[in-house]
A and B are shown apart, each in its own frame.
Chain A
Amino acid sequence: GSVPCDDLSISDIWMNHPDVRDAMHAKSVSEIGEFQICTNVLLYHHDAGSMIPIHKQLMGEGLQVLIYSGDHDMCVPYTGSEAWTRDVGKKIVRPWQAWYVKDQVAGYTVTYDRNLTFATVKGAGHTVPEYKPAEALAMFKRFLAGKP
């Protein structure tokens, strides 16, 4: 229901306004209750285990994969993503290098075989497009275009 260190009043106000619900074709507060950015109603079970075997399987299907990390995030730190991608990727096809947006270093990236790329976004927190919107969009565009 709440998130430490974040002010969520904008989403709380906007998403619970009847005119907004109506405009978005969403059920009203009286029908489905108040919107919360994160809910406590779920009783959630993590039953899928580690994602690593699944990533390996999917990479075998020829899918294009980008794993990125805002490098200021302490919640899911980049060190974990860097480690598992390194172990899964094995063979480096494009070594570590900086990547740039408007001549500024936006982060660092490495590409492994089987279309797996790991990239950091320098100075970004947990929610990368929020902290570094321009860099996030640039990264997204390059990924979609199949560019480094």
Chain B
Amino acid sequence: GEDSAEVKSLPGFDGEFGSKHFGGYIAVDEKHGRNLYYYFATSERDPDTDPVILWLNGGPGCSSFDGFIYELGPFLFEAASSKSELPKLKRNPYAWNKVANVVFLDSPAGVGLSYSMTPTDYNTSDLKTAKDTHTFLLAFFTKYRKFAKNPFFIAGESYAGIYVPTLAREVVQGLRQGVEPKINLKGYLIGNGCTDNVYDGNALVPFVYGMGLIDSDLHDELEKVCKKNYWQVTSPKCVELLDQMDEDLKDLNMYDILEPCYHPDSHTYGGGSRSRGREETSGMEGGAGGRGEEGGNKFERKSLKRPASLVQFGDGGGDGGEEKEREEREEREEREKEEGNGHAEEEKGKPEEKGEREEVTGMTSLGGRVMKLLPGGLLRLGSQGAAAADAGEQEPKARERSEEARLEGQKTREGGAGVEVEERRGEGGTTGRGIAKKGRLPESFLQLGQERR
């Protein structure tokens, strides 16, 4: 089986691989046709004794080829001068397969190159994903039998902070039950991983204060009003302060606060936006520079449109001028405050749906949830609904209390001063009055939230 899976060359790479590479599918459910894709880059040091690492990116929904292409994979990818050409590949001196046998796995089915013949399989969960990945591992170590004796570690980042421990638990349980082949699990590592709604949900305020991104007055007030609880918020005043904080942070690159934010449509950007792939690209719109080469005024970012990939422009959408929009939004919110309610409901189903533009900000909140986008995937960090997600660990009464708090929080947040999730529509022009209503978040994430409800 190994021979047929060997990858002998890759387009864009002219040299010799530093070790043997394999790639292919392993079925985790033959009946439903659920197949997971893996890419296995063996160690360039001593594959026979070096550890085996399973690498998982997060999301949920993000491919581990993020890790392969942009992070720790065997190659550096350099963008070609034109987007119709393939990137150029060269050996990555910092590849993790310098010292370990690394398996990049697209999981669950539906992510990256993995797929299922049964579309309902795309309705999935943490526990199902862990089971499938364990099934994958057993099949993988059967296929690559000689690696089964090597020390084995599970690794990942972001939402893999959920994948990794849940999978490790499956493996441990399998070992207890004597499942073969025996996996030599030694440990795991997690980078910037999601762990727990309370800890993660309360992490942002101290972080942004510590980094000097919000001022002391706002921070002190947040602590005082919210009582250091930012993830399950019921106080309208706390909501208002969190909105104020969101406003202060909204133009930052959430994945690295000191990096510029890449805007695909940022022709006017004076400096270089950062392109992913460690080699900075030159063929990119918006500037040739990269990290450390930002020639323009950082503050120009403020006047830019949001990333085009996240904005759907319709009739009247366009470069309307963010400053004016902001003024209008403030004016609108002020009016809402006076009226005592958000107008999300009344806007539903209005006929002027055409020509709207939908904005997705990096960090936003909806109905009592504080949400963040993970790379390409989405995560609610602190969520009222999360209480329900954790219900397995809660007593029934506590669960009821959580639900009450969630509903109360939702009411408060939706009816209070903050309208966090907005969809703005140009009305008869590029600077038409924005109309706030729910719907800035991508559908799949909204679904995730709905499922929790």
The chain A residues found within 8 Å of chain B, CB to CB, are 1-11, 13-15, 17, 19-21, 23-27, 32-33, 35-55, 57-58, 61, 63-70, 72-81, 83-84, 115, 123-131, 133-134, 136-137, 140-141, 143-144
**Secondary structure class of chain A's binding surface, majority of residues:** mixed
13 more A-B residue pairs beyond the given contacts A67-B189, A76-B372, A144-B100, with a C-beta to C-beta distance below 8 A? A7-B274, A8-B276, A15-B113, A23-B7, A23-B10, A66-B190, A70-B191, A75-B375, A77-B204, A81-B199, A129-B94, A133-B71, A143-B189
Q: Do the beta carbons of A2 and B96 come within 8 Å of each other?
A: no
- Which residues from B are CB-within-8-Å of A125? 253, 255-257, 259
**CB within 8 Å of A: which of B259-292?**
259-264, 273-278, 281, 284
The 8 Å CB contact of B61, one of A35, A38, A61, A65, is A38
Q: Do the beta carbons of A46 and B77 come within 8 Å of each other?
A: no
Q: Do the beta carbons of A48 and B193 come within 8 Å of each other?
A: no
- Could you list 11 examples of A-B contacts with CB < 8 Å? A2-B307, A37-B112, A39-B59, A46-B448, A52-B199, A70-B256, A81-B193, A81-B195, A125-B259, A127-B375, A129-B72
Pick the 7 closest A-B CB pairs, nearest first.
Answer: A38-B376, A125-B256, A80-B203, A64-B187, A133-B94, A77-B207, A48-B126
Docked complex Cα distance between A20 and B194 (Å): 32
Looking at the assembled complex, report how far the CB atom of B25 sits from the nearest CB atom of chain A, in whole angstroms. 8
**Is B370 an interface position by the 8 A CB rule?**
no
The 8 Å CB contact of B278, one of A6, A36, A47, A130, is A130
**Is B242 an interface position by the 8 A CB rule?**
no
Q: Do the beta carbons of A42 and B207 come within 8 Å of each other?
A: no
- Which residues from B are CB-within-8-Å of A17? 11, 86
Closest B residue to A9 by CB, please name it. Answer: B83
Q: Do the beta carbons of A35 and B393 come within 8 Å of each other?
A: no
Q: Do the beta carbons of B126 and A45 come within 8 Å of each other?
A: yes
**CB within 8 Å of A: which of B340-390?**
360-363, 372-377, 381, 386, 389-390
Closest A residue to B10 by CB, please name it. Answer: A23
**Is B309 an interface position by the 8 A CB rule?**
yes
Looking at the assembled complex, report how far the CB atom of B140 sits from the nearest CB atom of chain A, in whole angstroms. 14
Closest A residue to B6 by CB, please name it. Answer: A25
The 8 Å CB contact of B77, one of A10, A81, A124, is A10
- Which residues from B are CB-within-8-Å of A2? 307, 309-310, 376
Closest A residue to B383 by CB, please name it. Answer: A46
Q: Do the beta carbons of B189 and A126 come within 8 Å of each other?
A: no
- Which residues from B are CB-within-8-Å of A11? 63, 65-66, 69-70, 77, 276
Closest B residue to A23 by CB, please name it. Answer: B10
Q: Do the beta carbons of B83 and A7 come within 8 Å of each other?
A: no
**Is B321 an interface position by the 8 A CB rule?**
no
- Which residues from A are CB-within-8-Å of B11? 14, 17, 19-20, 23
Asked whether A42 and B257 contact (CB < 8 A) given A9-B83, A10-B79, A14-B69, the answer is no
Asked whether A25 and B23 contact (CB < 8 A) given A2-B310, A39-B112, A126-B255, the answer is yes
